[in-house]
Chains A and B, each alone.
Chain A
Amino acid sequence: MIVHDDEPRLMKGNEAMAEAAIRAGLQAYFGYPITPQSEVLEYLTVEAPKRNFVVLQAESELAAINMVFGAAGAGARVMTSSSSPGISLMQEGLSYMASAQLPALVVNVNRGGPGLGTIQPSQSDYFQATKGGGHGDYHLLVLAPSSVQEMADFVFDGFRLADEYRTPVMILADGALGQMMEKVALPKAGSLPFTPKPWATTGKLEGHDRNIITSLFIQPEKMEQVNLQLQEKYKRAQKEVRFEAFHVEDAEILLVAFGLAARISQKALEMARERGIKVGLLRPITLYPFPSKVISNLVENVASVLVVEMNAGQMVEDVRLAVNGRRPVSFKGRMGGMIPSPDEVVHEIELIAEQHRVVQV
């Protein structure tokens, strides 16, 4: 259970995340600067000498993730953060870590792409974050904050999940949440316990077996066993599904949005309700495992579903799988670092409401 400070502070999302990481018992951080995420590295670099943990600016993101790999293998509470192009460079290491079953926290402060792209906020890394990203049959557990408060809290949740499931965990934020300044009650230091890691390579004791960390399993029979272990783990993680629902009880149109898009949708929901359209909002907090069952149940009572994202339509595919053709699912999105305004979303809601009325007549 996370205990928070009584006094809130005004902090930038990136800084709140960095401070929360220190309070969560961070032992090592490896990273490389990239806008809009650089404040994490900057903050930790200033605090490291005073608060006893390792910070190293690697020569690239590729090097950073492999340092994380090493530290995680040695049982350290370790973290890295980057933004979209940097996270792409880390995919090889993430796949290796998923295979070697190592706990670590990876933060993606998503910016507009593809390519080097822009530095403005985007949610275009949804597929990469939730479907594995690198090669092989694996997933990261993915948390999507929508406020500076959650940026801080999810660092604690992320480390807990990583240790519990022995897997890399990703926080999928975006450039606006990273740069945004908001009131945040930081989680208290020491409220996240360290669990023993008997598998870690911390030196062989006499009479004990040698611990080996590897992602290479040459015999296919063995590789399949590792895959089965991973799949069993992802099945077990289904109980970690988290979401938030607003006004879904009497909703005729269900909005589904995560992160920053969910905050925009919440404003749009209020505006639409003022105009007499019954709108509800479901915000998935865990993007993997995805709250498919919740959506599947909710959709029985609504007429239509609208997914709002800051990309060309990625989470909408998971929503469509959950809806399974029972209701129409439409999509509203902006791309390349542009943010949809609440007015744009309300306009889309009105169009759907209009269509729905026509069908009823």
Chain B
Amino acid sequence: MIRGTITVETEICKGCELCIGACPQESIQLSDRINTIGYRYALLAKDNCTGCVNCALVCPEGAITVYRQKKSSAKAAPVAAAAK
């Protein structure tokens, strides 16, 4: 099973919500806070991201980075991360 997560460059995000529509897991929503240009930005609200990359592909601003991690065993994950 693959576990994913995303980071959003909140200062670039204009809150267009395309990623929210593209996410099959419904794990993205808009923040309650606003960035310096005044937009509510996208953020990962649920812990069920599969790393499918849909959000990053539709983002017109290129503001989303997706990270994937193989979840073979609970022990292996942090080791792999540390080796990097």
Measured CB to CB, the residues of A under 8 A from B are: 35-36, 38, 119, 179-181
Q: How large is the interface on B (under 10, 10 to 19, 20 to 34, 35 or more residues)?
A: under 10
Task: Report which residue of B14, B16, B60 has the largest number of chain A beta carbons within 10 angstroms of its beta carbon.
Answer: B14
Report chain B residues within 8 Å CB of A180: 60
Bound-state CA distance A36–B16 (Å) is 12
Question: How close is A162's CB to chain B, nearest CB, in angstroms?
Answer: 30
Given contacts A179-B14, A179-B16, whether A35 and B60 have CB atoms under 8 Å apart is no
Q: Show 5 A/B contacts (Cβ-Cβ < 8 Å), sorted by A.
A: A38-B37, A119-B37, A179-B14, A179-B16, A180-B60
Question: How close is B55's CB to chain A, nearest CB, in angstroms?
Answer: 16
Instruction: Please tell me if the beta carbons of B16 and A119 are within 8 angstroms of each other in the complex.
Output: no
Main SS of chain A's interface residues? loop
Bound-state CA distance A275–B16 (Å) is 30
Main SS of chain B's interface residues? loop
Report chain B residues within 8 Å CB of A181: 60-61
Bound-state CA distance A119–B41 (Å) is 13
Report chain B residues within 8 Å CB of A38: 37
Instruction: Please tell me if the beta carbons of B60 and A119 are within 8 angstroms of each other in the complex.
Output: no
Question: How close is A236's CB to chain B, nearest CB, in angstroms?
Answer: 41
Interface string of B26-48 (1 = CB under 8 A from A): 00000000000111000000000
Further 7 A-B residue pairs, CB within 8 A, beyond A35-B37, A180-B60? A35-B39, A119-B37, A119-B38, A119-B39, A179-B14, A179-B16, A181-B60
Instruction: Please tell me if the beta carbons of B38 and A35 are within 8 angstroms of each other in the complex.
Output: yes
Question: How close is B34's CB to chain A, nearest CB, in angstroms?
Answer: 9
* 4 tightest A-B CB contacts, nearest first: A181-B60, A119-B38, A35-B38, A35-B37
Bound-state CA distance A36–B38 (Å) is 9
Report chain A residues within 8 Å CB of B39: 35, 119
Report chain A residues within 8 Å CB of B38: 35, 119
Bound-state CA distance A179–B37 (Å) is 12
Question: How close is B41's CB to chain A, nearest CB, in angstroms?
Answer: 13
Question: How close is A217's CB to chain B, nearest CB, in angstroms?
Answer: 42
Chain B residue, CB-CB nearest to A175: B14
Interface string of B54-70 (1 = CB under 8 A from A): 00000011000000000
Chain B residue, CB-CB nearest to A118: B38
Bound-state CA distance A218–B61 (Å) is 54
Question: How close is A231's CB to chain B, nearest CB, in angstroms?
Answer: 41
Report chain A residues within 8 Å CB of B14: 36, 179
Bound-state CA distance A127–B39 (Å) is 27
Question: How close is A29's CB to chain B, nearest CB, in angstroms?
Answer: 20
Report chain A residues within 8 Å CB of B61: 181
Question: How close is A85's CB to chain B, nearest CB, in angstroms?
Answer: 12
